[in-house]
Chain A
Amino acid sequence: MNPVAPKLRAHLGIALIGVALAVLPFVVGATFGNSWVRIVDFALLYVMLALGLNIVVGFAGLLDLGYIAFYAVGAYLYALLSSPHLALAFPAVFASAPDLPFWLVLPLGALVAGLFGVMLGAPTLKLRGDYLAIVTLGFGEIIRIFLNNLNAPLNLTNGPQGINNIAPARIAGHALSRPLELFGAQIPSVTLYYYFFLALTLLVIFVCVRLQDSRLGRAWVAIREDEVAARACGINTRNVKLLAFGLGATFGGVAGGLFAGFQGFVSPESFGLLESIMVLCMVVLGGMGNIAGVILGAVLLALLPEVLRWGAAPLQQALFGSVPVDPETLRLLLFGIALVLVMRLRPAGLWPSALRRRELAAHADGSAP
């Protein structure tokens, strides 16, 4: 067979996916309305989050149950630096709302979240897997409790009410919260956000793929597979794990900043343990360690509650004449069942990672004794 054909097919496939992703918001918007485009935007945020957690859980095999804390750090930092809250709470210190450029605030949030990751990881990463899980869970709760209560005596987080009036993402002088006039057509805000999030998601995927195929990616998987052997191979497991933790947290911070700008409002409610578990579900369900699987898991689980909201209540109404189980409960119930079933039936996830084969091997094969 012509060896060009498969390559051509691959290129064609990528081109098709590209076109599909490009027209997606228009198709979804025209068919289901813009509220569904918004849902797709959130799905992209979850893809970024899940890919970040995948570095920690999927690659390095460290079960982090408090991952959402880094999302919270990114979101709150963005919120504080892009809303009037600080000026209102501390008029003596801040004469006016801090008006920092978007492209400064977002990386700053990522950096601070990454630092939090390293700070948490440094003392705890020598712990065994299940202990680490509990400590990270505790850390996540500590962050949430502080967010909830740091409204007095110093009003840093505005407590349970959260922070609102957060400035939207701003690209080339245009705030994404407003529709854009382009060649006479009007592109709605959710669609603008879609393209922005899509670009960043692609960037995150690119980074993940590159890392996976590198010396570091191999070291992470080695630690996951057998930590003692990894140490015996000369891998400084502490540093390499810390790197996974820090990078994962950084991704979480980016997603958090985007979330704050997109939503215009943050409150501690968005950063509970269940959110951590939901992101973990995305990673586990999709296929720990497999980037494509994790993306699939994130998209499926991000859309699930919306599908349930749309389908579950009417269905129950039709069946029982009432709605005994609200969609949120049903969603969590399904999560729980999915976690149990996936671990028992498909422990490697819906789309497990395949063995990496190297092209180099093809011609080396001939010379082997």
Chain B
Amino acid sequence: MDIFIQQIINGLVLGSIYALVALGYTMVYGILGLINFAHGEVVMIGALTALTAIGVLVPAGLPGPVVVLAGLLIAIPVCMAVGFAIERVAYRPLRNAPRLAPLITAIGMSIVLQQLAMIAWGRNYHTFPALLPALPHRVMGAAITDLQIIIVVTAALLMAALLWLITRTRLGRAMRATAESPSVARLMGVDVDRVIAFTFVLGSALAAVAGVMVAANYSIAHYAMGFMLGLKAFTAAVLGGIGNVGGAMLGGLLLGVIESLGAGYIGDLTGGFLGSHYQDVFAFFVLILVLVFRPSGLMGEKVAERA
């Protein structure tokens, strides 16, 4: 039983991170109807930038949480700039091109970013120093660390703030209007180009936070970490109903839990045939199943067929 609780806790932590990344996918998709293939790399850049900054700040002797926060605050603008560049280079010039064209440029951007990161940070794994209290609390026979609590709470606060931004502010209204119909929004005086750029930048800021969380949670960061994470977060977005902000949050949490439980029990389920190293496969099976049986996701509306 305590294994079950433990896996749920791990899943919620992981899921909070997925949700933050998934929001980036879903917001861009909601507005442009396109998948930002390079989004995973933004997470990676966030993690590695923060790590580098932390590496510089640690010798200064500041308290651990302050150092991490400082690293995060440096990573966020860097990621925002990267997100902005992705939109400018890979998406804006191709706004009227066939659908596959921006997807291919985005794949190109993703490769470029990954290789640049490799040149900057090397092939090695970077370890995240133990700056945050890792003492586990006991909850119903399972362990939860302060770090895990911080991750879940931060993610929840950010998501609440995002919902507020989207539903209560002028900018959020402009985003929703653009998502509904860019041409009409433009006629109503919305600067559609700016809204789209802002959406990329906003998603990238969340990705930066997620990147630091992943690095802290697994104590590790690597130039190639963005690919798999991005893919899973995209799965989470699809699971929840892509284009739907609430759906991305739900999908992220759900996928995290599915994955954790799956990793914990796959051995028992398959009679020991498959082990926990198949954890990554779960996300893909979930993705394929969702797309085949409920392409609109859990919270997505059924897209009207259009001739």
Contact = CB atoms under 8 A, between A and B. Distances in A.
A–B contact, 8 Å CB criterion (strictly below): yes
Interface of A: 61, 63, 65, 123-124, 127-131, 133-135, 137-139, 141-142, 145-146, 149, 152-154, 228, 273-274, 277, 280, 284, 324-325, 329, 332-333, 335-340, 343-344, 347
A149 B275 contact: yes
Given A137-B231, A141-B280, A347-B101, A340 B119 contact: no
Given A130-B99, A141-B280, A335-B108, 7 more contacts: A61-B100, A131-B238, A280-B107, A325-B119, A332-B114, A340-B105, A343-B101
Given A153-B272, A340-B109, A134 B287 contact: yes
Contacts of B275: 149, 152
A336 B288 contact: no
A340 B295 contact: no
Interface stretch (B73-81, B88-96, B147-155, B169-177): B88-96
Contacts of A228: 307
A146 B281 CA distance: 9
A135 B284 CA distance: 8
30 contacts: A124-B291, A127-B291, A129-B103, A130-B35, A130-B99, A130-B100, A131-B238, A133-B100, A134-B234, A135-B291, A137-B231, A138-B288, A141-B280, A142-B285, A145-B277, A145-B280, A153-B273, A273-B227, A277-B111, A332-B111, A333-B111, A336-B113, A337-B112, A339-B107, A339-B108, A343-B97, A343-B101, A344-B93, A347-B97, A347-B98
A273 B107 CA distance: 11
Given A139-B284, A329-B118, A277 B107 contact: yes
Given A333-B116, A343-B94, A343-B104, A141 B111 contact: no
Contact of B115 (A133, A280, A332, A344): A332
The B interface is mostly helix, strand or loop, or mixed, namely helix
B222 to A, nearest CB: 15
A127 B238 CA distance: 12
B164 interface: no
Contacts of B109: 336, 340
The 3 closest A-B pairs by CB, nearest first: A339-B108, A336-B111, A336-B112
Interface string B101-138: 11111011111111110110000000000000000000
Contacts of B102: 343
B284 A141 contact: yes
A138 B284 contact: yes
B278 A131 contact: no
Contacts of A149: 274-275, 277-278
Contacts of B234: 134
A174 to B, nearest CB: 42
